[in-house]
Amino acid sequence: MKSLISRFQQLVSPQQDNWRRYALLGLGTLAFITYASLLAIGLIIAHERESSFALRNLENLAHVLDDHARNTIAKIDTILLGSKVYLSPLRDKYQVDINATLARYLRLIDDESQSLRVADKNGRFIFDAAGKAATARIADRAYFQRNRDDKSGALVISEPLFARITHNWVITLSRRIDDPQGNFAGLIQAAIRAEHFQDFFASLNLGDGQSIALVNAQEQLIARYPAATDKIGQTVSHPKIAELIRQQGSYTNFTTHSALDGIERLYVVRQVGDLPFYVVVGHTPEHFLSNWRQQAFWATLSTGLLALVLAGWIIVWLRTYDRAREIAQGMTRAYETTFRRTRALLDSLPDPAWLSDRQGLLIAVNDAYAELSGKPVEAILGQPAEAVLPPTLAEALTTLSSEALSQQCQQKQTGSQSTERGGQRHYEYIATPVFDDRGVLAGVAGVARDITQLHKDQQRIRHLAEHDLLTDLPNRFLLAEHMASALAETLGDQAELALIFLDLDHFKNINDTLGHDIGDQLLLQVAQRLSASLDERDTISRQGGDEFAILIRHHGAPARLASIAQRLINVLGQTFFVSGHELRVGASIGISLYPQDGKDIGSLLKNADTAMYQAKASGGNTYRFFTQEMNLRISERVTLENNLRRALDSDEIFVHYQPQTDARKQRLVGFEALVRWQHPELGIIPPTRFIPVAEESCLISQIGERVLREACQQNRRWQDMGLPPVVMAVNLSAVQLRQPDLAQRVGAILTETGLDARWLELEITESAFIHDTDRIIDVLQELQAIGIKLSVDDFGTGYSSLGYLKRLPFDRIKIDQSFVRDLPDDADDIAIVRAIIAIAASLQKEVIAEGVEQAIQRDFLLELGCDLMQGYHFGRPADAASAEAMLRTMRR
């Protein structure tokens, strides 16, 4: 050991011996950091304790408010049930003074309810605890309609209402009353004042910074402390509350700024029993963390004082040490080489590190090196690496050290080492030559840097770069690599490769109606079915959205590709079960072959995508092989779409107006606005050619809104000229009908143009409301509420249904020109037109026939009872000036 120490002293550099200065600084810093860390930990624990205490207080308060609200509702409901039982046998038999009895019942709940009334089946109050029935009617109230439609007689709770009688904010509780035959006879209701809850909230004497709110399941504010009277009845939405209601949960907590006063609070939200109410209690961190902030101030101050004390002590010690160092400098020169080696070793910690002499004998190692070798430090010193390490590792380190000695420069190498548990660790080995103070090579300092985590991270990053995050399928880049690999394994153009491009049918409907979470789960199941239906040598790649690309190797004849495509269509056509939903989707497939349809992945993908769109155009749920004719059609469509986008920025898109006439009275009753496109080179492009392109490229909404605005402006302009007012009919596309704010958009255009809503009619093709009918009914009702007329366009050509006509709020039915064209010669057309006119008459809706081109057609339709007509017989679509001339003729 003494010889080892002597050799160690020879190898360490005699310079830079002021490491003690750094050690002292390090110890002082470590002491300061330790103290500061303990204080920080204590502050964190205190912060969590204060926050948890505040959260528990809020939860307890929410529980109290829950009990109060439930008891209030239960108490009033008991009175409603008692009153209902009382009313049922006595109202007609004994002529008891019901108003007096209701007054007695009301006194039992006068703290909670301001009224107790009975309304008949027409929504008229007939009994009142106040002694005189109010004249207000409630038939239009939603809670009245719910009582009328729900025969169960369950308790009905209204949204916040501004009472028509008492002129204050209330929520009503009501129960249905039936006559002896079980039919709806009316209801009994009580009204809870919003002030009842607010007074209770105020009576709790909450501290500063606390708030309470009571909202319903529609997130409408019922009561609040501090009071916010102007916000009662309004929606005070928050994503966390909305998510709790949507998931039918009963509790959540979060921290956010209030939508009412902008103050940040910790909030607890609790459902009131199983009722559609939620109590929201909050407390500002500024108040419940005030004690903690004071602790943090004193902790910061004490940390600063400690830093000053430590700095002063270190400065005094360093001055003393500098003096002692000057005295002992001559005695320490012999150990400078030791310090150099020690410094080199310390720089390599905490990974396995070693010092060896020129003969390869180990002079010093650290604990990590001993752990790697599986031997104690004492058994390692003085031994070569071959004697203490596994053969493979020892050979790599010995070779690296030899290279460092021979080349006298640092050497690096990577390698792996198996662990006792069967794992694998990855290392970067670094060997650095060490010189003494005379510049003579003394040995090698080495370190084995553990890069296992870096290796795993690189593998993970590569995997993420090459795979889809949702399905973990290869992405487009890895698909290209697999294609290149397949080409390298074969003889170029002789390779049997095909690309299948698959797109799910109707997937967007699932995303729009059920949400993206359901859509993502469906895509995972699709990926699993595709993987189970193909060979391992085939590559399945997700291209994005609902699109998948499949590289098929060694496919043989094209017939086998057709068989594979049909098998995938059949597999994906089976029902998917996702989170309780039974979902069905189809698949449209395009197929391109190598090399005739492309010699690179980009060309194959583009052509397969083109073929897939042809499959969709054929109705979907089928497959198509790529042909050059498809490419020409797609190119033409792309050119048309680009020209259409440019046309929207110019004056190429304009509106013509076709007259609509009352043929019996021979009077003009309106115009239909028809879009036209004047291309500078191609001339007039018919709507039948560019409208489908506009719908596919999402330009139809922009075109529709432009036509609507121009038609409304023109109609208003004619009225300002003193011309007779007529109805302007504008077509509404299915895409526009799906806009959630359609009614607001149309209303804004009416306001902007100054046109009264009664002079606007919107025409909707019947196929547009087949899907999502309930939501579309809501949209149409919003439009009708504005005062806009609605008509069914092209009736009889799609999914004609009396059920739809009965439910949808249309004013007019438009007979498609395909049924008018052959009148009065075609018996089938006669039967269809007669049936449509009879249906319209039975539903009390107007009917108009389009495509009337001959007088004989006009006369025949008049005989059938159809007075309103449109077609070339009465006038072709014309510009605004010609339409204006028609109106002026009408005025004369």
Out of 177, 196, 215, pick the residue that ends a domain: 196
Bridge partners (DSSP) listed for residue 4: none
Residue 315 lies inside a defined structural domain of this protein:
no
Regarding whether 586 and 504 lie in a shared domain, the answer is yes
Q: What is the pLDDT of residue 791?
A: 92
Would you tell me how many other CB atoms lie within 10 Å of the CB of residue 633?
15
Q: What is the pLDDT of residue 6?
A: 44
Residue 25 lies inside a defined structural domain of this protein:
no
Residue 300 lies inside a defined structural domain of this protein:
no
Regarding whether 822 and 745 lie in a shared domain, the answer is yes
Regarding whether 688 and 777 lie in a shared domain, the answer is yes
Please report, as a single letter, which amino acid is at residue 589: I
Q: What is the pLDDT of residue 740?
A: 83
Kindly report the backbone phi and psi dihedral angles of residue 850, in degrees, each rounded to the nearest multiple of 5, phi listed first: -110, 160
Q: Which DSSP state fits 769?
A: G
Residue 384 lies inside a defined structural domain of this protein:
yes
Q: What is the pLDDT of residue 880?
A: 93
Three-state secondary-structure class, residue 318 = helix
Closest CA to 187 of 120, 254, 133: 120
Regarding whether 709 and 596 lie in a shared domain, the answer is no
The distance of Cα 680 from the centroid of its chain, to the nearest Å, equals: 42
Regarding whether 687 and 793 lie in a shared domain, the answer is yes
**What is the number of structural domains in the chain?**
5
Please report, for the domain that includes residue 132, its CATH number.
3.30.450.20
Rounded CA gap, 175 and 155, in Å?
Answer: 5
Regarding whether 191 and 255 lie in a shared domain, the answer is no
Closest CA to 430 of 345, 337, 361, 373: 345
3-state helix, strand, coil in the chain (%, to 5): 50, 25, 25
Q: What is the pLDDT of residue 674?
A: 94
Rounded CA gap, 450 and 462, in Å?
Answer: 20
Regarding whether 414 and 379 lie in a shared domain, the answer is yes
Bridge partners (DSSP) listed for residue 548: 502, 542
Residue 42 lies inside a defined structural domain of this protein:
no
Please report, for the domain that includes residue 581, its CATH number.
3.30.70.270
Which domain does 169 fall in, by range? 97-196
Please report, for the domain that includes residue 711, its CATH number.
3.20.20.450
- Positive or negative, the CA dihedral 778, 122, 74, 61 is positive
Rounded CA gap, 54 and 35, in Å?
Answer: 28
Regarding whether 681 and 771 lie in a shared domain, the answer is yes
Give the pLDDT means over successive 10-residue stretches in the chain (892 positions).
42 51 76 84 86 87 89 90 76 60 88 89 90 85 91 90 84 91 91 88 84 89 87 85 87 87 88 90 86 86 85 77 59 48 52 84 84 81 83 80 84 74 75 83 83 75 79 86 76 72 88 87 93 88 90 77 88 91 90 86 87 85 79 67 84 92 93 92 86 79 92 95 94 85 93 95 79 79 93 71 72 91 91 91 91 94 94 94 89 52
What is the β-pairing status of strands 113-120 and 576-578? unpaired
Task: Give the angle 272-276-277 at the CA atoms, nearest 5°.
Answer: 45
Regarding whether 796 and 667 lie in a shared domain, the answer is yes
Residue 461 lies inside a defined structural domain of this protein:
no
Residue 738 lies inside a defined structural domain of this protein:
yes
Regarding whether 602 and 491 lie in a shared domain, the answer is yes
Kindly report the backbone phi and psi dihedral angles of residue 651, in degrees, each rounded to the nearest multiple of 5, phi listed first: -100, 20
- Pair 545, 516: CB distance under 8 Å: no
Out of 171, 196, 221, pick the residue that ends a domain: 196
Out of 174, 196, 218, pick the residue that ends a domain: 196
On average, the pLDDT of the chain sits at 83
- Pair 399, 414: CB distance under 8 Å: no
Residue 728 lies inside a defined structural domain of this protein:
yes
Q: What is the pLDDT of residue 441?
A: 84
What DSSP letter does each residue of 38-95 carry, written as one string? Answer: HHHHHHHHHHHHHHHHHHHHHHHHHHHHHHHHHHHHHHHHHHHHHHHHHHHHHTTTT-
Rounded CA gap, 809 and 778, in Å?
Answer: 10
Regarding whether 356 and 281 lie in a shared domain, the answer is no
Regarding whether 474 and 445 lie in a shared domain, the answer is no
Q: What is the pLDDT of residue 453?
A: 77
Q: Please confirm whether the linkage preceding 226 is cis (ω < 30° from 0).
A: yes
